[in-house]
A and B are shown apart, each in its own frame.
Chain A
């Protein structure tokens, strides 16, 4: 006999926990053993529901007069009967059901990200990215210091950066283990290394831009916007490895993290600018460059450009005076 469709019992997350083929109609549902579909739900009556064609030839579920009734999922109210189309969901007692015809369309297969990331799983890739990061950090530490070379100090400086990366990857691996039963430590580590390398590259580029164009605010932008974006991208990657979240929701999570980080940065910066301090804040980055290559303004122009300081300070002083008794 041909199967007309399937009656599916859904768990609270909407996943199918049981599936019954519908081969003949009418079909009865209830707790009693006389039913076609037996449901072990104390809130379901021994004879609870029948499914069959109505006088117009449409498929309909009917409550046979029970104390807990039949509840349509769309709308949520108790109904004596409910028209069933493919995909209609309903509830009897505490049991959540769905009817699907055999022609019911199903979602396309999801990409196996774990498979895609397989290239990162090899210990060689993890080790290589760790070594690349170590190398970059050592070079950075060497060129960032101006004292005689001290291996112990350089290494301890590098380890200070590397340790949080290892711990961060470990935490994400733990999340992966809890959610997916797989650690994916190597992949998480590769991702974290990539994020640190990108941040170092971006901040070096920002230093050069800020040096060449002092009014560009490149360092400010990198510190706030850049770090927000890199962290967002990192979270996006980690979630891909550590959860079954859809692409769209991962994207939203990443955007939320970026926005939160940028927002906090802007707020902290505003707070810093509006609170009193005797510190002079300016960009002190100097780079070795051929003077001919460095765009420079004239003395007159520089002096002129300081006029706005007076206006800004006059406003600040007025504000300070008005807030004093």
Chain B
């Protein structure tokens, strides 16, 4: 009995403890909740709704968010929010509506395609602006994101700061909170109202990304003195920025043969830079008379060029096929099918890219022979930039084959050739 009553005592005690903990938690929750309406009240008037209007129908084609960032009323938003204006200025205009409901047509003052930022000028009068300061919040710091999700009206979203992404070529803030379409270009603030970043992308539940505020500060400084230019002239600037970006990040890629991965009898390139992420898998099913092993690597950085086109991604993959059951003719039927183009998907439309043109050769590399194909297409509006797919299949073995694919987007033709060559050199047979 005594034992039972002791148990009951401890049980009651633990319930009480739990209750007190949860009440503490809700008290702190209330404290946060109390500040959120205050933050919204204080800062929402600096946030604007951005609408891209199709001139012919005078109807909105897309919407986004922006915020006043300077004394003179420069508005910061994402490049992707207003990209339609850059690509077809004759068909679109950009209208900005402030918190008071005043509306005005704005012009582009500057843009940063790599980081997906734009500065707009000439909208309705600003009452004030949000302060942009280089800050280093602690991981877990509370953040407040403002924007117009799905055009449902200005909304505030709470989340946490989770540092800068480690595996990207250029930094991005990892924001744990729900960003939704329409919030792009909106500010994400600390409790004191300092902007930490600009809403830019989401990768599903609670995983969102911000452009670091330093990039917005840099763009504002760069455009402070610049005159308003016609939107069409920015297309050349988009091309120039992508070209500079690819020239910088591709230099030296695949130049040395390390690191490598071994697949069957081959030694192949993998993770040529820290901003690549690689995955591997194997298809080993009883009903199939062959085994397929896959090794994929890809960059996470991509640039939004237009709604149909993104750029700046490098992907490569190695697919090893081997069999103990199939005779050479049947194995090569499999190998040919895997080497077919259908397994490489490409998107795009006629206004933005040309069709692909391909060159196929049997090529002698250091330790063997390859069937090599290079397919290239050009960006119509950004001359000098190309998408390319290089595919190679090893020749020689009767029951093992490797199909390796390198996909580049938004690179110069010289870089297409240089990287193709370096990549080919890195496909090696183990002796």
Contact = CB atoms under 8 A, between A and B. Distances in A.
A273 to B, nearest CB: 8
Contacts of A145: 330, 333
Given A305-B361, A317-B383, A278 B289 contact: no
A281 B329 contact: no
B326 A146 contact: yes
Interface string B243-268: 00000000000000000000000000
Interface string A296-316: 111101110110111011101
A147 B331 CA distance: 10
A284 B356 contact: no
Contact of B330 (A143, A214, A286, A295): A143
Given A313-B386, A324-B351, A214 B360 contact: yes
Interface bracket on B: 35 or more
B372 A284 contact: no
Contact of A302 (B331, B332, B372): B372
Contacts of A144: 333
Interface stretch (B112-120, B143-151, B362-370): B362-370
B131 interface: no
B173 interface: no
Interface string B345-368: 011111101111111111111001
A43 interface: no
Q: Of residues A277, A302, A312, which shows the largest number of chain B Cβ atoms within 10 Å of its Cβ? A: A302
A295 B371 CA distance: 11
Contacts of A325: 90
Contact of B380 (A147, A306, A321): A321
A46 to B, nearest CB: 80
Interface residues of A, number: 50
Contacts of A290: 396
Nearest to A297: B361
B363 A280 contact: no
A144 to B, nearest CB: 5
Contact of B333 (A146, A280, A324): A146
A297 B363 contact: yes
Contact of B395 (A146, A286, A309, A313): A286
B289 to A, nearest CB: 6
Contact of A305 (B359, B380, B383): B359
A142 interface: yes
Nearest to B327: A143
Nearest to B347: A278
B96 interface: no
Contact of A285 (B327, B336, B361): B336
A288 B35 CA distance: 71
A266 to B, nearest CB: 18
A286 to B, nearest CB: 5
Contacts of B342: 279
Nearest to A143: B329
Given A146-B334, A146-B337, A324-B380, A214 B361 contact: yes
Given A143-B329, A286-B339, A297-B363, A291 B355 contact: no
A304 B287 CA distance: 44
A278 B353 CA distance: 9
Contacts of A309: 357-359, 374, 376
Interface stretch (B50-58, B134-142, B185-193, B417-425): B417-425
Interface string A137-160: 000001111111000000000000
A299 B362 contact: no
A310 B393 contact: no
B377 A313 contact: yes
A298 B361 CA distance: 10
A288 B364 contact: no
B112 to A, nearest CB: 25
10 contacts: A212-B362, A276-B349, A278-B348, A282-B360, A286-B393, A298-B363, A298-B364, A299-B421, A302-B374, A308-B359
Interface of B: 90, 287-290, 326-337, 339-342, 344, 346-351, 353-365, 368-369, 371-381, 383, 386, 389, 393, 395-396, 398, 401, 413, 416-417, 420-421, 424-425
Interface of A: 142-148, 211-212, 214-215, 276-291, 294-299, 301-303, 305-306, 308-310, 312-314, 316-317, 320-321, 324-325
10 nearest interchain CB pairs?
Answer: A146-B334, A288-B328, A280-B375, A282-B358, A276-B350, A316-B354, A296-B362, A313-B378, A284-B339, A291-B396
Given A279-B342, A308-B359, 13 more contacts: A146-B290, A278-B353, A280-B375, A286-B371, A286-B393, A288-B332, A289-B395, A295-B362, A298-B364, A299-B364, A299-B421, A313-B377, A321-B380
